[in-house]
Amino acid sequence: MSSTENGAEASARETGRPSPKVPERPHPVTLREVAEAAGVSTATVSLVVNKKKDARIAEETRRRVTDAIRTLGYRPNAMAKTLVSGTSKFIGLVADGVATTPFAGQIIHGAQDEAWKHGYALLIANTEGNGELEQDAIAMMLEYKVRGILYSTWFHRQTDIPPPLREADFVLVNCFSNEQGARAVVPDEVQGGRSATELLLAHGHRRIAFINATIPAPAKDGRLAGYRQALGNAGIPFDPDLVMEAYPDQEGGYRATAGLLQRGAPAVFCYNDRMAMGLYDGLREHGLAIPGDVAVVGFDNQEVIAAHLRPPLSTVALPHYELGAAGVRVLLGIDPAPGGPAKIHCPAVERASVQVQAHA
Amino acid sequence: MSSTENGAEASARETGRPSPKVPERPHPVTLREVAEAAGVSTATVSLVVNKKKDARIAEETRRRVTDAIRTLGYRPNAMAKTLVSGTSKFIGLVADGVATTPFAGQIIHGAQDEAWKHGYALLIANTEGNGELEQDAIAMMLEYKVRGILYSTWFHRQTDIPPPLREADFVLVNCFSNEQGARAVVPDEVQGGRSATELLLAHGHRRIAFINATIPAPAKDGRLAGYRQALGNAGIPFDPDLVMEAYPDQEGGYRATAGLLQRGAPAVFCYNDRMAMGLYDGLREHGLAIPGDVAVVGFDNQEVIAAHLRPPLSTVALPHYELGAAGVRVLLGIDPAPGGPAKIHCPAVERASVQVQAHA
């Protein structure tokens, strides 16, 4: 292997197949060519392509046209159809970082699956929170006559509605506005916090700490409310001393270790999985076993992390896929828009970081 | 706080602002309304909107039209423009999972930034590797007369060229074909493997293990070739016994710990960051310190992981952003297409998991 050859080339060569040349691209087939092949006028082809139901065309003629379309590989011009109908088969998705942020990308996946199901394609613009880019992206979508726009944020938060968005039919996804009538779908943080706490309650724990985030967010308020609800439902009085706060990443979780040990709680619900990952490191440094000494639950079900910690982390999933899909359904009027933001269920995912305890 | 109220509502309320109703969406402004406001014919407005340079229109008239467009908020119909010009200002991006896979989403970010720079918007279809969806996505893009298509994969691999893709001007991104003339941009795995090994060499290590992947891939061959080059350049003979293989995730890295300790190498290059993360756990269980006892380097610079391990992990970054941007430049003919796939540099990122050793 020569010093400049890379694996890609080596791998291509190793298949042993010849290297055919990519053929010249054929010129696009025109409506006129279809008409000539079928022996009909271009007007007739146009009527067949645009599926005009009231046009009277003999079945035999229609068949000749569709055969010619298939044989020649004719692609109808979607732009021309749009001019006739006034709206395109596009749904716009404006994202402030969804496409490029680990995990929130599932919003795209869910929105696309649901859009395709109803004959729409997704036109995505990722703005990285740049206001000017956002204006341009929405203007572009309006010029392409989108059916509507999903406006999404990579973390759950309140948002202002950018003025050009008001020109479209729109739904907020993973964010919400305080304007009445602004349709939105958001994760159900309260239910998620309740489910996370219940994972620990179900294993006999009654003294459960909560390491919340330092940063104000609907997730911070909602998960705390859910934690309190779960304790209340189990008849356990709320002890504010068991609620700590830390920066919501690995370093924050690591630094929270000492405070947790001071409180002596044998079970802890962490605001997110990254925090739990840092706490794992801290607990190990103190020679403590998970879940034997401390049972740990996270939040997010963050891919590449939660299932791969040692031990694997019990957590609650953020329903990104379902947020995208529900956004499309609300936009198209398939799901009714509730009075406030529609709240999407956050499912619990149980793994080895919690454990049955006979008498806790 | 009532038991059903969630953080979102609480947060909206706490702003103290009134809840204005989202206003009725205005009907779209028509060409005719612009013409009436400007006191000109619709044909004149059309000439101004479509920027026909050879049309003779008095400067004063042109100004009246552009004023009316601004005042009324008229949006020209991009579809109509496309019908005239034959191609749209879209670049298609077909992804088998880029949009929904952590980290590879930066391909979208890079492609979009570069596309916007040249006046193009990105039309993204995520196929999750579903062949039928892929065919439909490419057909849709062809119907919308895209300028060209980027065909991308979430991990670097060889690919077949789907037949409908040949109808478009296309560039393969993060994948390549053995067909001559198929333009492609891929990460420079050999250079990356060399840089990873050099991070350890620079700190005085001469006995460096490499835990490669078990799964065949250009990355596997390329990174091994780079490791060998770096050793060769440093005058260190290649010792095949120092090359191990493991499944490229945390569990694989953890299980490789015993084999690594048997070989007694004080420095190791792991095929990827996830493997390094598992190896961290294994080394800790043996009471070994990083980098004091074993220096560790990964590959990928995987967000949410590499920078947040304890200690933070030295690694080599996969250039996803640059792959997307370079794909657009090759498509538009701004970057020349080399004979084979264009190889994109993988930059080294040094953190605390390697260490200066005076005499290794």
Please write the tens of the pLDDT for every residue from B97-122: 766 666 777 898 899 889 989 988 88
What number of helices (H) and strands (E) belong to chain B? 13, 12
What is the predicted pLDDT for the residue at B50? 72
Domains of chain B: residue spans and CATH? 18-76 (1.10.260.40), 89-188+322-344 (3.40.50.2300), 189-317 (3.40.50.2300)
Are A125 and B121 within 8 A, CB to CB? yes
Residue B293 sits at the chain A interface (C-beta within 8 Å):
no
pLDDT at B10 over 50: no
**Residues composing chain A:** 360
Average pLDDT over residues A96-101: 70
Q: Report pLDDT digits (tens) over B228-279.
A: 999 999 999 999 999 999 999 999 999 999 999 999 999 999 999 999 999 9
φ, ψ dihedrals at B290, nearest 5°: -110, 125
Q: What is the CA radius of gyration of chain B?
A: 28
| Pick from A105, A128, A167: CB nearest B99 | A105
Residues written for chain B: 360
**Confidence (pLDDT) at B86:** 66
Q: Nearest CA to CA, how far is A190 from chain B (Å)?
A: 6
pLDDT one-digit tens code per residue, A175-201? 999 998 899 999 999 999 999 999 999
Q: Determine which helix (DSSP H) or strand (DSSP E) holds A83, and give its type and residue range.
A: helix A78-85
CB B92 within 8 A of CB B125: yes
Q: Which stretch of DSSP H or E encloses residue A211?
A: strand A208-213
**Strands ordered across the beta sheet of A121-126:** A121-126, A90-95, A148-158, A170-176, A184-187, A342-344
What's the CA gap between A60 and B119, in Å, rounded?
Answer: 45
Q: Is residue A21 pLDDT above 80, yes or no?
A: no
- For A58, residues 6+ apart whose C-beta sits below 8 A from its C-beta are none
Q: Any chain B CB within 8 A of the CB of A82?
A: yes
Q: What pLDDT, on the 0 to 100 scale, is given for residue A7?
A: 37
3-state helix, strand, coil in chain B (%, to 5): 40, 20, 40
Which chain B residues have a beta carbon less than 8 Å from that of A137? 121
Higher pLDDT, B50 or B174: B174
Burial label for B319, CB within 10 Å (0-12, 13-18, 19+), is: buried
The residue type found at B291 is P
What is the distance in angstroms between the Cα of A264 and the nearest Cα belonging to chain B? 24
Mean of all residue pLDDT scores within chain B: 87
Q: What is the pLDDT of residues A118-160, one digit of tens each?
A: 988 888 888 878 888 888 889 888 888 889 999 999 899 999 9
| A:B CB pairs within 8 Å | 284
Chain-chain contact of A137 with B124 (C-beta, under 8 angstroms): no
- Cα–Cα distance between B178 and B236 in angstroms, integer? 34
d(CA B290, CA B267): 10
Q: Which residues contact B243 (CB under 8 A, 6 or more apart)?
A: B209, B210, B212, B224, B227
CB distance A231 to A196 below 8 Å:
no
Distance from CA of A36 to the nearest CA of B (A): 21
Beta strands B342-344; B184-187: pairing state:
parallel
The Cα-based distances of A200 to A206, A240, B2 in angstroms read: 8, 18, 23
N- to C-terminal Cα distance for chain A? 62
Whether A217 has a pLDDT exceeding 90, the answer reads yes
Distance between CA atoms of B182 and B337, rounded to whole angstroms?
Answer: 9
- Closest CB to B139 among A75, A186, A222: A75
Q: Cβ of A1 under 8 Å from any chain B Cβ?
A: yes
